[in-house]
Amino acid sequence: MQKERICPICNWQGEKFLPNNLNFSHDESRRVSGECKCPICDSRPRHRAAMLLLQRLNLPQSNRRILHVAPEKFLFNYFNTKNPTDYQKIDKYIEQYPANTVSQMDLIDIQFPDNTFNFAFCSHVLEHIPDDKKAMSELFRVLAPKGIAVLMVPIYPIEKTADLYEKGPDSMGHVHQPGLDYFQRYRETGFAVDVYALDKFYDPEQYGLRIGWDKIAVCYKPKNKVTGLFRRLRHY
């Protein structure tokens, strides 16, 4: 019997997610013809993976200061249920959003003071930024000690990240193709990092998840240097 599909974002349950029909002419293996979009809220696999992880880890905690980069509408309601004391949404390109809802800001030059936020969410942005390490260090800077950044990039099925520095052949605007070693860049920035593969915890078919591509990094800014070292040792 076919399993019922569940969308953790809008709680839709039904027979099948809708296809997306992305046509990667340069890479047959990446063609998506199967189930992808939620028929009610239009969420994609990466959005559902993020929601499952945030709920599982109860992130962010209530009454925190939140920074949401390239903010996905799918997460607005969820973040607002956490009664944030501040909720800042930023993007380099703000034309796509309703007027005055998102602040125009470049991730390599975040216009907030050090140690401002308790929680940051940034998905499918870093792979578009040539100086992605600078963007990571900016996220690190604006997080308060013990702050948490949930960072997502598409993880290509390759060992070593390919830094292209010009748009890749699949026309997705990616200037990096993050491989399995990409998480090391977060560690080099100073974060202690846990990596979660949601397709290991949840039935990929039931929740419409992609296998392998949506590994999510939960990055902790250490309280101080000693704690940071301790956490890093614990996670290796």
Considering only residues 34 through 53, tell me which ones interact with Zn ion, judged by CB under 5 A: 38, 40-41, 43
Q: Using the minimum distance from each CB to Zn ion, give the nearer residue, 36 or 122.
A: 36
According to DSSP, the β-strands at 117-123 and 65-69 are parallel
Q: Which range touches Zn ion (CB under 5 A), out of 1-9, 13-21, 153-161, 204-212?
A: 1-9
DSSP state of 40: T
Cβ of residue 12: shortest distance to Zn ion, in angstroms? 5
Question: At closest approach, how far in Å is the CB of 47 from Zn ion?
Answer: 8
Q: Is 135 in the site for Zn ion (CB under 5 A)?
A: no
The helix/strand/coil state of 99 is: coil
If one asks whether residue 7 binds Zn ion (CB under 5 A), the answer comes out as yes
The span of 4-12, 25-33, 164-172, 189-197 binding Zn ion (CB under 5 A) equals 4-12
- Name, in order, each residue with C-beta under 8 angstroms of 199's C-beta and a sequence gap of 6 or more: 49, 209, 210, 211, 212, 214
- Residue that has been written with the tokens 């940034």 in this structure: 122
**Minimum distance between the CB of residue 8 and Zn ion, rounded to whole angstroms?**
8
Element (H, E) at 48: helix 45-57
Interaction residues for Zn ion, span 90-109 (CB under 5 A): none
Does residue 126 bind Zn ion (CB under 5 A)? no
Per rule CB under 5 A, is residue 10 in the interface with Zn ion? yes
How far apart, in whole angstroms, are the C-alpha atoms of residue 195 and residue 183? Answer: 8
Q: Does 9 bind Zn ion (CB under 5 A)?
A: yes
Distance between CA atoms of 145 and 108, rounded to whole angstroms? Answer: 20
Rounded CA-CA distance 145/141 in Å is 9
C-alpha 14/C-alpha 96 separation (Å) is 30
Q: How many residues does the chain have?
A: 236
**Residue among 50 and 139 whose Cβ is closer to Zn ion:** 50
Residues at the interface with Zn ion (CB under 5 A):
7, 9-10, 12, 38, 40-41, 43
